[in-house]
Chains A and B, each alone.
Chain A
Amino acid sequence: MSRRKLSRRQFVAATALTSAALVTAPYVRGAHAAGKLSIGFWDHWVPGANKASTDIVNAWKEKEKVEVTIDYIPSQGNKNLLTIAAEAQAKSGHDILAMPTWWPHAQSELLEPMNDVMEDLIKRNGEPNGTVKYLGQSKGKWLAVPASVGSQIKGPCSRIDLMKQHAGIDVQALYPAGAPPKADSWTLETFLKAAEACHKAGVPFGIGLGETSDNVDTAGAIFQSFGAALVDEKGNLTVKTDAVRQALEYYKKLISFLPPDVGAWDDASNNKWLVSGKGAMIMNPPSAWAVAKRDAPQVAEQCWTHGFPSGPKGRYAPYLAYFWGTWSFSKNKEAAKSVLRALSQPDAIEKMVVASGGYDLPCYEKLTTLKVWQEEGPPKGTLYHYPNPHNHQTLSIAAAPAPPKIAQQIYVQATLTKMCLRYHKGEPMEKVLAWAEGECEGFMRS
């Protein structure tokens, strides 16, 4: 066995030749000539829903010759929030990152403006709803592109049979499938009477008062129905107002008709409440119904998703928006904008909504009447009113209209549900208001 020895001189010559060849070689357009793009999508809880996003991105990358990597980041354990915080600190990371509700504003200084993308999308898809404008825009600048994936309305999901039997309310007649709502009588007073009746019958409404988003969202919508806000859009404190007092009085009555442990509920508690058949109503997107379809079909057959009851100042429903943002330090902003355009085309949005079983909710006005919501069942038409197709209610988010950076604190610290619990537990009204005012003052620090 012979072994050829490489002399030092030969090694230097070979290295120099190789380097020269590499430097002077002609540029050949390869399969990924347009660069690389990394995307961090939200990991959808619906099995198989991620595939729709992957397929759309794959089709785009074949056309544009871009090398794409996709990470699906779960929201369990706030992994997505940790990723956002880490990338913002490191000034490095995904070119596109899914950001829930408040995070475009929280990271506004580090996000690439999306006005050019949004102009095209609005022309094609129609105006986005007010909540998305509130959460996604700052001083006329679009901070991120609204994502249909993950966006949702947390409206009432009622048991048709129990509501009829115990509260004498036919939710299908109030919100008929395929037709506009006939829900003038569906007010907060009716809602309270129904809550009392169902509580007496042993199937109370499952409305949480914990510190997670489902709980806060419901409180937010009810406060807004009374015109109650803790901080107004200019950043002034509006805690000690009659509207806030009325909302608290209402909640105090409502809590006495809810399960005794609602103060400890998280986002899974209401889902379990519905699926177990213990309650007549919860406030949730159709995820609970989808789980019931799999685990308790007899419950799912009796579920009807519909609009919020109206209060003295209107009918409000919580809309939880997701966005796709691009960091200003992203290395391939043009490719990022291009794929965001592809993901926001009507056919792409429909594909993603179908893959999620109707859970995802686009914010654009022309895309709230997709077939999937008309056809999903059982019972057929159960999701017809989920996307607010007749603009019957104002979509909003708890703590609005406060400036988003203050509202985020009110929302995350669950100030609204804490106020309700404190008042219900016997703390005097003025003490509760003073506590909330102190908290809000703290949230205003810049």
Chain B
Amino acid sequence: MADVALQPNRSAAQTGRKRSSLHNALKRKSTVAFLMTLPLLLLIAALVIYPAFYAVHLATLNKSMQRFIGFNNFEFLFKRETFWLVVKQSCIFAITAVIFKAVLGFIIAHFVHNIPAKGQRKWRGMLLVPWVIPPAMSTLAWLWLFDPSYSAFNYTLSFFGIGPIPWTGDAMWARFSVILVNIWVGAPFFMIMYLAALKSVPEQLYEAAAIDGANWWQRIWYVTLPMMRNIIAITTLFSLIVTFANFDIVRILTAGGPLDQTHIFATWAFRIGIEGSDIPLGASVSLFMVPILAVAAIFILRDISKRGNEA
């Protein structure tokens, strides 16, 4: 009887406790943050994590996708001359493009930072245009400028007795062209990130440096750059990953030619996987950079968090 009499009270107390713990959980900022990011996490799981694991699965199958062959696709790739050519080109493409994007972005950010606030917005907007236009569209315009037979650049250069330059027909020029377009598209991203970082550098630091007699270069080296280190590291990492994975610019401008000398991972993976109907090998090509980029990401991010802790 006592038990029966006590039971409802205990369950009511438990329900109350549950309710209050749920209430507390909902009140906690981290829970709310988690719930708000949940749709995005689900999207990422569906559109990034699942395809990534599926690509790993595909890379372990034979050409007709009927047999598990482990790492044989990678073994096969390592023996191919063209694969190493693609590795070399991807590194040249990504590293050169990221360095130039970073340097140009840094210089332009300084110019824009020094423009009076009134006119700055217009310049910021205009300079962001290459980054805002879908690359497939802007690259088509570049393709017409570089057209092998009717290049607008060559037409202009001919007035100065220069050319014609084989923009997409010669290996060296073709590599130059694809890197140039990538820099044109990507530099505004660096510019805007660096501009934001520049704006957050306290003016007092420059004043103190000026009092100490620091010249322009010393102010950049000892004040600006250390204050921007984290932003530089993150933008470089982000851009390196995106540039290594680039597809549209190379595909539209040269499709990997001439003689495969502008192929990068994504374009060669497409050539093999989709055009050549060898999806497992294409998946292996596209996955090759994952471990290398992952290690780079770990080091850069670890460095950033270390500096954050020190601060």
Contacts and interface: CB of A to CB of B under 8 A. Distances in A.
Contact of B275 (A260, A412, A418, A435): A412
B174 interface: yes
B76 A442 contact: yes
B3 interface: no
Nearest to B277: A106
A78 B81 contact: no
Interface residues of A, number: 40
A261 B166 contact: yes
Contacts of A264: 148, 166, 168-169, 174, 254, 257-258
B256 interface: yes
Contact of A272 (B150, B168, B257, B260): B150
B276 A261 contact: no
Nearest to A109: B64
User: Main SS of the interface on chain A?
Assistant: helix
Interface string B155-173: 0000000001010110000
A266 B169 contact: no
Given A261-B166, A446-B64, A409 B276 contact: yes
A264 B168 CA distance: 6
B188 to A, nearest CB: 25
Nearest to B167: A264
A276 B271 CA distance: 31
Contacts of B276: 408-409, 412-413
B37 to A, nearest CB: 30
A321 interface: no
A422 B259 contact: yes
B27 interface: no
A260 B63 contact: no
Contact of A412 (B150, B174, B271): B271
A153 B281 CA distance: 32
B274 interface: yes
A78, A261, A262, A409: most-surrounded residue (chain B CB, <10 A): A261
A266 B277 contact: no
Nearest to A265: B148
B53 to A, nearest CB: 14
B157 to A, nearest CB: 15
B76 A445 contact: yes
B279 interface: yes
Contact of B271 (A89, A102, A413, A422): A413
B62 A210 contact: no
Contacts, number: 84
A59 interface: no
B80 interface: yes
B89 interface: no
B200 interface: no
B79 to A, nearest CB: 8
B166, B174, B278, B281: most-surrounded residue (chain A CB, <10 A): B278
B266 interface: no
Interface in B278-292: 278-279, 281
A82 B254 CA distance: 20
Interface in A254-286: 259-266, 269, 272-273, 276, 278
Contact of B169 (A106, A263, A435): A263
B255 interface: yes
A82 B281 CA distance: 16
A439 B168 CA distance: 24
A119 B259 CA distance: 43
Contacts of B275: 78, 81, 412
Contact of A418 (B164, B259, B273, B274): B259
B255 A278 contact: no
A210 B260 CA distance: 10
B149 A85 contact: no
A272 B151 CA distance: 13
A278 B148 CA distance: 14
Interface string B242-278: 0000000000001111111000000000010111111
A103 interface: yes
Contacts of B258: 210, 263-264, 421
A408 to B, nearest CB: 6
B149 A269 contact: yes
Nearest to A410: B276
Nearest to A261: B148
Contacts of A78: 274-275
Contacts of B274: 78, 81-82, 85
Nearest to B275: A412
A126 interface: no
Contact of B80 (A89, A266, A442): A442
A17 to B, nearest CB: 39
Contacts of B82: 439
A208 to B, nearest CB: 9
Contact of B62 (A89, A211, A446): A446
A438 interface: yes
Contacts of A103: 277
A212 interface: yes
Contacts of A442: 76, 80
Interface string A86-127: 000100000000000011001101000000000000000000
A408 B64 contact: no
A405 B274 CA distance: 14
B96 to A, nearest CB: 21
Contacts of A409: 276, 278
A438 B254 CA distance: 24
Contacts of A446: 62-64
Contacts of A102: 277
B271 A261 contact: no
Contacts of B271: 412-413
B277 A269 contact: no
Nearest to B257: A211
A272 B148 CA distance: 11
A262 B168 CA distance: 10
A191 B148 CA distance: 24
Given A442-B76, A446-B62, A446-B64, A259 B149 contact: yes
Contact of A261 (B63, B149, B254): B149
7 contacts: A82-B274, A210-B258, A262-B169, A264-B166, A264-B257, A278-B149, A446-B62
Interface of B: 62-64, 66, 76, 80-82, 148-150, 164, 166, 168-169, 174, 254-260, 271, 273-279, 281
Query: What 10 A-B pairs are tightest by C-beta distance, nearest first?
Result: A106-B277, A261-B148, A264-B169, A264-B148, A264-B168, A261-B169, A263-B258, A412-B276, A412-B275, A263-B169
Given A85-B279, A261-B166, 7 more contacts: A109-B64, A211-B256, A278-B149, A408-B276, A418-B259, A421-B259, A446-B63
